[in-house]
Amino acid sequence: MSKLGTLGARLHHGEVGYDFVKNRKIWYGISILITITAIVGLAVRGLHMGIEFQGGAVFSTPKNMSVSVAQAEEYAEEASGHDAIVQKLGDGSLRIQVAGIDTKASDTIKEQLSEDLKVESEQINAELVGPSWGEQIANKAWQGLGIFLVLVVIYLAIAFEWRMAFAAFVALIHDITITVGVYALVGFEVTPGTVIGLLTILGYSLYDTVVVFDSLKEQTKDITKQTRWTYSEIANRSINSTLVRSINTTVVALLPVAGLLFIGGGVLGAGMLNDISLSLFVGLAAGAYSSIFIATPLVADLKERDPAMKALKKRVLAKRAQGKSAPEPEPVGSGGLGGGTQDAAPAVVGPRNQPASRSRGRGRPSGKRR
């Protein structure tokens, strides 16, 4: 069996485990850092909107050009410094579209193009074109997005609970911000493809978070009927138990996109693929990361403030203190499981006010179950 397979087994039996919840502050910190970088990048570099959003200039050449489309594209990008879309028309003339050009700049580009393409500059016809993705489409898209987010938060609040809905929402914002930020930093032009990529991320981010939450919900279903583990500990175990699935899914989702990005875009140089696959790659990675490192710990954080969970924690700690002599069946992620609890240990005002120690507290024999 592969290493991952045995890792799965060990995770399942709680032999190994990483304490995601305990170390959450580190991950929060990292995420905040990345997010701030992304926002700064966005603010400083801004997004380059493609011709589809802001319009630009279109140059039409005379008929029967001998230059190939790819060649013309190169010339146009050189002359303008922007991405160019080149199409060959039925009569053999070329239509070259360049984003973000005003009349003045278009004259210079026209001159340059006429030189490169070896045609008289009078024969090149330059005109400004409007956006094909106009304001109305954009507004409708925002509206749709807004409605969807409201509905999904309501749905999650009903199917799960409001804390999870909130955490999923935070994770979503996190993923989108990072993706947009990376996009701004790299400086690719924003095309409709980018937007579609972002929407795909949005769907995937929520999807992935929901899968993780589903396991969390299942494992914490009867949490108040036991006194062995606190919510944070169970949340942590739930992450660990879905870890193999998360890794596998992420690998399977990322591999083809990585192929598009690094092989298609990088090695083979397929320009337009770059922007789509980049947004997908960053977004999918961020989506997988945030479900585990941000969303679930956030739920645990919020949940621990719930009076019922506080009471549970008290009972758990009390029980552990009580049964200190009993051998401990290692809880999952025992490495630091107690840690999450210890933060709040002083709050323990349980029946027995003994210091809570992580290595004790087997619940079973000590009765007093509720």
Partner 1 sequence: MAAPKKGRNAGAQSKPWRSLALILIAIVGLTAGMFASGQTTPRLGIDLAGGTSITLRAEPEAGQESAINKTNMDTAVSIMERRVNGLGVSEAEVQTQGDRNIIVNIPKGTNSKQAREQVGTTAKLYFRPVIAREAGGAAPTPEASSSPSAGSGKAEDTKEKDGKKDESSSPSPSATSQGRAVTDGLKADASPSPKASESKGSGDGDGGGKGDASDPQNSKLQAEYAALDCTKPDQRTTAGKGAKPDEATVACGQDSQGQWQKYLLGPAEVDGTDVDDAQAVYDTQAGTGWKVTLGFTDKGSKKFASITGKLAQQQSPQNEFAIVLDGNVVSNPYVTQSLSSNAEISGNFTQESAKNLANVLSYGALPLTFKEDSVTTVTAALGGEQLRAGLIAGAIGLALVVAYLLIYYRGLSFIAIASLLVSAALTYLIMSLLGPAIGFALNLPAVCGAIVAIGITADSFIVYFERVRDEIREGRSLRPSVERAWPRARRTILVSDFVSFLAAAVLFAVTVGKVQGFAFTLGLTTLLDVVVVFLFTKPLLTLMARRKFFASGHKWSGLDPKALGAKPPLRRTRRPAGPVETKEA
DSSP state of 188: P
Binding of partner 1 by 103 (CB under 8 A): no
Binding of partner 1 by 263 (CB under 8 A): yes
CB of 343 to partner 1, least distance (A): 21
Lookup: tokens for 249: 């899914």
What does the alpha-carbon distance between residue 103 and residue 340 come to, in Å, rounded to a whole number?
Answer: 63
State the Cα angle at 10 between 220 and 325, rounded to 5°.
70
Segment 292-351, which members bind partner 1 (CB under 8 A)? 329, 332
Phi and psi at 273, nearest 5°, equal -70, -30
Element (H, E) at 127: strand 125-129
What length is written for the chain? 370
Segment 21-50, which members bind partner 1 (CB under 8 A)? none
Classify residue 180 as exposed, middle or buried by CB count within 10 Å of its CB (0-12, 13-18, 19+): buried
Cβ distance to partner 1 smaller for residue 43 or 70: 70
DSSP state of 340: H
Cβ distance to partner 1 smaller for residue 41 or 298: 298
Residue with tokens 């506080």: 310
Cβ distance to partner 1 smaller for residue 206 or 321: 206
Binding of partner 1 by 136 (CB under 8 A): yes
Binding of partner 1 by 176 (CB under 8 A): no
- How many residues form the binding site for partner 1 (CB under 8 A)? 108
Binding of partner 1 by 145 (CB under 8 A): yes
Could you tell me the maximum CA-CA distance found in the chain, to the nearest angstrom?
95
Q: Of these, 258, 302, 326, 344, which contacts partner 1 (CB under 8 A)?
A: 258
Strands 189-190 and 48-49 come out as parallel
CB atoms under 10 Å from CB of 211, counted, come to 15
Q: What x-and-dash track marks residues 216-255 binding partner 1 by CB under 8 A?
A: --xxxxxx-xx-xx----x------xx-xx--xxxxxxxx
Binding of partner 1 by 370 (CB under 8 A): no
Q: What are the CA-CA distances from residue 315 to residues 122, 334, 346, 364 (Å)?
A: 86, 19, 14, 13
Cβ distance to partner 1 smaller for residue 61 or 215: 215
Q: Of these, 108, 123, 143, 359, which contacts partner 1 (CB under 8 A)?
A: 143
State the Cα angle at 110 between 109 and 116, rounded to 5°.
85
Binding of partner 1 by 152 (CB under 8 A): yes
Q: Which stretch binds partner 1 (CB under 8 A): 100-108, 109-117, 138-146, 334-342?
A: 138-146
Which of 209, 74, 203 has its CA nearest to residue 148?
Answer: 203
Q: Of these, 98, 165, 235, 276, which contacts partner 1 (CB under 8 A)?
A: 276
Segment 47-76, which members bind partner 1 (CB under 8 A)? 55, 58, 69-70, 73
Q: Of these, 89, 158, 345, 347, which contacts partner 1 (CB under 8 A)?
A: 89
Q: Of these, 29, 81, 259, 367, which contacts partner 1 (CB under 8 A)?
A: 259
